A and B are shown apart, each in its own frame.
Chain A
Amino acid sequence: MKNGDLLRLLAAHRDSNARLMARARTLSPEEVDASTDPQVLRIRRMALAVRGEVCRMRGFVRLAPLGDRVLWGRISPHHDVGFEVADFFARRFPGKMIVLGDKKRSWSSLYAGGDILHEVGGVLSTTLAEISRIVDLRFEGGEEGREVSEEKGGEERDEKEVEPQHIGAEEGAGTAAADLWSVYYLSQDVPRRAGGRRYGGRISRRALRSTGLDAEKEGGSARLQDFT
């Protein structure tokens, strides 16, 4: 792991401190990779934990449109990785504003003209309402943004609290894409039919509860007729 990457990841860890950062600055990539020193091992584990969370956030978050210029989704990261994830999607969808967050924080990013612009904000629904007001967007309804929570031991969120009700979200069963996705997902396998342990090892119950993985939540009970 390059030293720059190590420092960036370590700084994002919720238990990071000045002492660990100072030690990390002195480490070569070889030391990080091969040392058996307990403090270096801890630094390596912390960096890998942050990297793992970024990877899960990128994979599991489901995005929803707000007008035709904004994509938003709900994430509630354990570490300070909001911008890391939002910037990733901003680069993936140039010219689209990416807004991610939960009922406490939000991260907005835009990739335009070869640069990333980003801004941290408060409650996600308030940020979306503000954006909506600025550019006169109207929420298209359909699928609601989805939350990926990595917080440990927290209460299950009351998802309705963070929905942007006041900016015109409509009641609905989801976008056409969401329904098609459920059909497609079920065509690939019957969830938890076999290998339940392996499945549980890949997606935690917390992720299933709090993310937008609707098709998985059905537990294989949905049938094709439900979508026709």
Chain B
Amino acid sequence: MTALEKIARLAAASSFDSAGPAPGLAIDPAKVEALGRGTKYDLCTSSAAKRESEGGLGSALRGGLCHTFTGSGRCVSLFKTLYTNDCSHDCGYCPNASVSSRKKTFSYAPEELARITLAFYKENRIEGLFLSSGMGRDEGETMEEMIETVRLLRAAHHFRGYVHLKILPGSSKEHVREAMELADRVSVNLEAPSSARMAELCPSKEYENDILARQRYVRDLSREVSLPAGQTTQMVVGAAGETDREIFDRILLEYDVLKLKRVYFSAFTPLAGTAFEDRKKAPAWREHRLYQVDWLYRVYKLAEGEISAAFDDDGFLRNSDPKVAIARASFEEPIDPNGASFAELIRVPGIGPKSARRILLRRKNGRIERMRDLVKLGVAARRAEPFLKVGGKAGTTLDRWGV
């Protein structure tokens, strides 16, 4: 018997159909389109959790994987969909709002959605499921059906792939617990930085009770329920007149008090048929600059006081790298990479944690005397040069550099 024959016969004898059921043929494409479109502005990364495939179908990679990209370059990693686009809330920016004039409502059934997810997963089109939803007739009923979908995937189909489950505003603590037991990541959409801004965005949502209280549930339950990829949230930027400083102050609370893993930002886009369709679109760069500030706080561990230098007097970020503004406020003169600490190095634009660590390692084998050596270690020379003194001299002084 050849090796190929042995493998083929073993596969044929396998009693465990790990690929799950075939997809049904009667799924309405209009439903898939409408409920997929409903999550177009929802943000998520792919998997950030590790699940062993032993005894089940699939796995979740720690690093995630992109299976394709949208036209604007965004990674498509998960099957991102609404459970239903029926919603009793009246959020002014949302095409699923009860007041939206261009809405036809659709809903999945748990088994139907589970089968579509498995079919996409089996063909390697996705890494997992991102399930959000409108409120439906009742948030408890809709949340129950969303949980049932994931329960079917996990229990009936032994699915071990990645699942990100949205917690609907106002969900019960028991539903939050069940969601956490089944999903890799859960999130409650914050949308606005304060209750006053929420009143502007969505008068029917109670910021403290519907949103923050549910985030606290997740934080508190995390002590007893394992949630591999933690809790996240997302905010709409620029729909309610809020400043970037207001958003930044809110994300400090989200990280420090509510222990979130990540905050995502979505620049407001006015959509036809919504209450805010005539409002001005927020520039995409604003979202980008907020991510940069978020990164400086969360990954670079810069203090709130330092980051404040990136905001103008009105509380907005400029359309330029906030790290440069912070560095210009922090450094009185260029620093020598041969003597600088890790904390000093990562404050230099063009040097990140990885290249800073490489510089420290490289220094053990001798001094860094040329900018070329820093480039080989991953430093972005053009941005870093004004802040560095290499080989005893600064390439470009801070004064000459645009001051």
Give the interface of A toward B (CB within 8 A).
30, 33-36, 41, 55, 58-65, 68-71, 73, 89, 91-97, 108-112, 114, 117-119, 121, 127, 130-131, 134-135, 137, 143, 175-181, 183-196, 198-199, 201-203, 213, 215-216, 220, 224, 227-228
Inter-chain CA distance A77–B373, complex, in Å, is 33
Provide the residues of chain A in CB contact with B319, threshold 8 Å. none
Inter-chain CA distance A135–B24, complex, in Å, is 26
Closest Cβ of chain A to B354, distance in Å, is: 8
Closest Cβ of chain B to A39, distance in Å, is: 12
Inter-chain CA distance A35–B373, complex, in Å, is 9
Contact at B120–A177, with CB atoms within 8 Å?
A: yes
Provide the residues of chain A in CB contact with B54, threshold 8 Å. 94, 114
Provide the residues of chain A in CB contact with B105, threshold 8 Å. none
Partner of B119, one of A68, A180, A189: A180
For the complex of A and B, list the 9 residue pairs with the smallest distance between their C-beta atoms, beginning with the closest.
A198-B73, A187-B36, A189-B70, A95-B14, A34-B361, A195-B72, A97-B11, A191-B71, A177-B119
Inter-chain CA distance A70–B121, complex, in Å, is 15
Cβ of B123 under 8 Å from chain A = yes
Cβ of B382 under 8 Å from chain A = no
**Known A34-B377, A110-B10, A184-B33; contact A216-B123, beta-carbon cutoff 8 A:** no
Inter-chain CA distance A166–B18, complex, in Å, is 27
Interface string of B4-27 (1 = CB under 8 A from A): 111111111011111100011101
Contact at A60–B71, with CB atoms within 8 Å?
A: no
Inter-chain CA distance A69–B11, complex, in Å, is 6
Provide the residues of chain A in CB contact with B76, threshold 8 Å. 185, 188
Provide the residues of chain A in CB contact with B75, threshold 8 Å. 202
**Known A36-B373, A91-B53; contact A175-B123, beta-carbon cutoff 8 A:** yes
Cβ of B125 under 8 Å from chain A = yes
List B residues 87-145 near A (Cβ within 8 Å).
Answer: 116, 119-120, 122-125
**Known A69-B12, A183-B32; contact A62-B18, beta-carbon cutoff 8 A:** no
Cβ of B177 under 8 Å from chain A = no
**Known A92-B53, A199-B71; contact A180-B12, beta-carbon cutoff 8 A:** no
Contact at A30–B361, with CB atoms within 8 Å?
A: yes
Interface string of B354-382 (1 = CB under 8 A from A): 00011101100100000001001100000
Cβ of B59 under 8 Å from chain A = yes
Closest Cβ of chain A to B9, distance in Å, is: 6
Partner of B7, one of A108, A186, A188, A201: A108
Inter-chain CA distance A194–B281, complex, in Å, is 16
Closest Cβ of chain A to B26, distance in Å, is: 9
**Known A62-B124, A188-B40; contact A95-B11, beta-carbon cutoff 8 A:** yes
9 A-B contacts (beta carbon < 8 Å): A34-B357, A65-B19, A92-B53, A93-B122, A112-B11, A135-B8, A176-B24, A184-B36, A189-B40
Closest Cβ of chain A to B116, distance in Å, is: 6
**What is the chain A residue whose CB lies nearest that of B15?**
A95
Provide the residues of chain B in CB contact with A191, threshold 8 Å. 70-71
Inter-chain CA distance A117–B12, complex, in Å, is 14
Contact at A94–B66, with CB atoms within 8 Å?
A: no
Contact at B4–A130, with CB atoms within 8 Å?
A: yes
**What is the chain A residue whose CB lies nearest that of B65?**
A59
Cβ of B216 under 8 Å from chain A = no
Partner of A224, one of B3, B7, B30: B30
Provide the residues of chain A in CB contact with B17, threshold 8 Å. 68, 95
Contact at B32–A187, with CB atoms within 8 Å?
A: yes
Closest Cβ of chain A to B1, distance in Å, is: 9
Partner of A194, one of B16, B36, B72: B72
Cβ of B69 under 8 Å from chain A = yes
Cβ of B223 under 8 Å from chain A = no
Closest Cβ of chain A to B264, distance in Å, is: 16
**Known A185-B68, A187-B33, A213-B68; contact A119-B7, beta-carbon cutoff 8 A:** yes
Cβ of B151 under 8 Å from chain A = no
Contact at B4–A131, with CB atoms within 8 Å?
A: yes
Contact at A60–B4, with CB atoms within 8 Å?
A: no
Contact at B71–A41, with CB atoms within 8 Å?
A: no
Partner of B11, one of A96, A183, A199: A96
Contact at B68–A60, with CB atoms within 8 Å?
A: yes
Inter-chain CA distance A170–B334, complex, in Å, is 68
**What is the chain A residue whose CB lies nearest that of B61?**
A58
Inter-chain CA distance A194–B74, complex, in Å, is 11
Closest Cβ of chain A to B117, distance in Å, is: 10
Contact at B71–A119, with CB atoms within 8 Å?
A: no
Inter-chain CA distance A143–B122, complex, in Å, is 13
**Known A183-B32, A189-B70, A193-B72; contact A63-B122, beta-carbon cutoff 8 A:** yes
Closest Cβ of chain A to B236, distance in Å, is: 18
**What is the chain A residue whose CB lies nearest that of B55?**
A94
A-B contacts besides A131-B4, A180-B116, A188-B76, 8 pairs, CB < 8 Å = A33-B358, A41-B376, A64-B123, A95-B18, A109-B7, A119-B7, A187-B40, A191-B70
Partner of A61, one of B18, B124, B373: B124
Contact at B36–A183, with CB atoms within 8 Å?
A: yes
Cβ of B58 under 8 Å from chain A = yes
Provide the residues of chain B in CB contact with A224, threshold 8 Å. 29-30, 33
**Known A34-B377, A184-B36, A196-B71; contact A176-B12, beta-carbon cutoff 8 A:** no
**What is the chain A residue whose CB lies nearest that of B40?**
A188
Contact at B70–A188, with CB atoms within 8 Å?
A: yes
Provide the residues of chain A in CB contact with B66, threshold 8 Å. 59, 202
Cβ of B183 under 8 Å from chain A = no
Closest Cβ of chain B to A60, distance in Å, is: 7
Closest Cβ of chain B to A189, distance in Å, is: 3
Provide the residues of chain A in CB contact with B3, threshold 8 Å. 117, 119
Partner of B65, one of A35, A55, A186: A55
